[in-house]
Structure 1
């Protein structure tokens, strides 16, 4: 028996106590389930009915609202039954078990993570990009991320992709029609303005990619790691950026023994600020706990998107500071943060020299903190364009990049004197396939399994 055709049920609200809890069921025909639950009572589709929820022997579980959605006019495209009762964990578990028991004869089973949304996708209620936006909206950590997820859920991202696919398809149609008439190949690119059409597609794809890249930044944020010797002010800087005392600050070197992570927002961009254990010079003794903390520091450095190398502006650079700098991985942006200018007499400033960007600030007095925030936004590539952004995922960006490469190859074939239209057409086809994977027109079952397994149960 195909499990995808069996009705499913799950608790649709978050774990824990709440004023209201929802048990949801979905399947091709849930009228027998509703009748079994409510003693043959008929539920009018899309109307709320206040009704007792009882065990099979008539014992009362709860009283609440039942709503029946007749497919295809439902979230999943199937019949959907929602039971809304009080949000106590025990009550909801009792209600779920009663629903599963009442639906045993029709094969009702517990839903897997994301299965309701997967069925919405399989029944053409949502495309794949919209389905992913459901999870992104739930997981959004900032207001800007939530707005972008809503844009994608509404279909804005999908519409942009469909428009690109339509333009590629139109150009493919012209090319492949010409392949049937070899004597016309020589003049094809000029007569149809194929190069101009292709250039327009490339520019439109580049625009979508920029919007998607900005949206991906809203979704993922940046991992910013604070690194430096003990007592240079890493924890003070974390507190200054967070606007709260999230890390313990004392004059005692080595106070921070393990990482402290705080997620903050700068203009809607989530930054995961990671304060780490101070790294001492090779000739300084460290205990076992501090040594483990230092090992973890280097582990976080290896995963960083941006490294803030903290130094003491009052004492200047030391051999230990240069040793720390030498251990940073190549290709990761490093900002050299000169802290304690309230003691050194420096002014808050930023200096983009040949070797690195140096920022002079005081975490204690908050002088220069805005300079650091602006530089982090610059590194992130954040641009406030006023345009709607798409909360894209890494797979979307990979597909867009791959499509851009195929279009670039197509331009190369169009520029050749022999005008290899068959190769031109093939690159267009491959670009179209890559774009179509975003909305799910060409997606493997393995990919779908990975995507929906990351959803919460009941959604």
Structure 2
């Protein structure tokens, strides 16, 4: 790496603990080891050594591990100091090392960024490091480990290789149309190859959508008129009394959030203030505005109605009124509550537009049907962990962009006079896929990704 800076940071969380780790990476690492420890530890061997201050007084004593370049996480010389986990001791150690000219505190994610720049990992593997740390379930953690091991990268690199081979043939025929030695692919063969690549990318998009649920989860918003049982259903879904439940209409005035885990998928359940046409209460009006904001952001809407007072026609009118204010189509479920009073049959029915689930929140009857429906509606198919990976929104966006360029290229296939434009579309698709692994990435993209990492990683 061309940077002259040597960086340092805590590699363990701030606070009290039995062990605290300080990590150093860069060209001055050897000098730090010699002056701080009195020796350069043997490569990749843990040694129990004193840590000295500038006056050769012992600051602490612990484990030192030296990783010489290029066989280290960052590809640079790295020194890890495992000392006692008290914040004062760790800060003294940090400040001692910062006395060396040319050493500074690392930016968030800078160790991982240097590993990427030095070709130790690609961008999907770098993101997987953050995903492992932030994983909210065992399934998500294992999928992130798969990504770190290169499962996702291999799939992208395979597609890129297929595109490169196709581009080579097409561009060779453009540049050397009269050369007999150059293999000429017929239009039909090019079409077959394009279709195969499009099919492969679409399969990967489907799997990426599935795997993104493990990381990003789904946002389910509970809405409806006041006093229809929204808060009771919120409590039943989350398994805790997060919402106040009373017979007084409009008890919930603000947005309540709780995350649950359904088969390893993080689900954000959001309870909102009851919707009503008009109100003179300022607090209630603010609550309704916040409810509409959450509804617009939802992945799935649960419209709760009182089965005692809402017939099917009124239910349809409520649905139409609600969707008329939405900016894009969403998953929709109508929950008919209070079946214990209306004597409606507990169960589930489907229409072309939405599902209808009848429950009794008071008796907790039908809640399992609702939970099972939520699992199915999420679209997660319980993929096996082996071969799975974690995908982010930017990955799916890049895959969709690549497909769009391939579809445009197909339209140009049977117009030889614009074959150069077809080749350009393939180049753009190639670039879109390469942004996933970071082979072609803007500095702005890299800054956005690594700035979200914790310091010391």
Q: Same fold (TM over 0.5)?
A: yes
Identify which of 133, 140, 153 aligns with 2:135. 140
Bigger drift between 418-427 and 83-92 goes to 418-427
Aligned residue for 1:302, secondary structure, equals helix
* Residues 1:441 and 1:389: Cα distance change in structure 2 (over 3 Å): same
Instruction: Report the RMSD for the aligned CA atoms in angstroms.
Output: 2.5
**Aligned ranges for residues 174-323 of structure 1 at < 5 Å?**
174-182=169-177, 188-190=184-186, 193-282=189-278, 286=281, 288-316=282-310
Q: Is 1:125 paired with 2:120? A: yes
Aligned residue for 2:186, secondary structure, equals helix
- Whether the aligned pair in 2 keeps the contact of 1:413 and 1:419 (CA below 8 Å) is no
TM-score, with length taken from structure 1: 0.91
- For 2:44 and 2:416, the matched residues in 1 are separated by 63
- Whether the aligned pair in 2 keeps the contact of 1:301 and 1:328 (CA below 8 Å) is no
Aligned to 1:368: 366
Shift of 1:46: 1.0
Shift of 1:417: 5.6
**Aligned ranges for residues 94-105 of structure 1 at < 5 Å?**
94-101=92-99, 104-105=100-101
Identify which of 152, 160, 167 aligns with 1:165. 160
Deviations 1:199-222 (A, max 9, x none): 221221112111111111221111
* Residues 1:237 and 1:3: Cα distance change in structure 2 (over 3 Å): farther
Shift of 1:82: 0.8
Shift of 1:355: 4.7
Q: Could you list the runs of 5+ residues in structure 1 that have no partner in the other structure?
A: none
Deviations 1:186-234 (A, max 9, x none): x944388222222221221112111111111221111111112232211
- For 2:371 and 2:178, the matched residues in 1 are separated by 62
Q: How many residues align?
A: 450
- For 1:199 and 1:179, the matched residues in 2 are separated by 21
* Residues 1:71 and 1:350: Cα distance change in structure 2 (over 3 Å): same
- Whether the aligned pair in 2 keeps the contact of 1:309 and 1:325 (CA below 8 Å) is no
- For 1:250 and 1:17, the matched residues in 2 are separated by 43
Shift of 1:245: 2.3
- For 1:164 and 1:437, the matched residues in 2 are separated by 13
- Whether the aligned pair in 1 keeps the contact of 2:235 and 2:243 (CA below 8 Å) is yes
* Residues 1:260 and 1:4: Cα distance change in structure 2 (over 3 Å): farther
* Residues 1:61 and 1:417: Cα distance change in structure 2 (over 3 Å): closer
- Whether the aligned pair in 2 keeps the contact of 1:10 and 1:110 (CA below 8 Å) is yes
Aligned to 1:335: 333
- Whether the aligned pair in 2 keeps the contact of 1:229 and 1:321 (CA below 8 Å) is no
* Residues 1:225 and 1:238: Cα distance change in structure 2 (over 3 Å): same
Aligned to 2:42: 44
- For 1:446 and 1:281, the matched residues in 2 are separated by 45
- For 1:290 and 1:62, the matched residues in 2 are separated by 58
Q: Could you list the runs of 5+ residues in structure 2 that have no partner in the other structure?
A: none
- Whether the aligned pair in 1 keeps the contact of 2:151 and 2:388 (CA below 8 Å) is no
- For 2:249 and 2:107, the matched residues in 1 are separated by 50
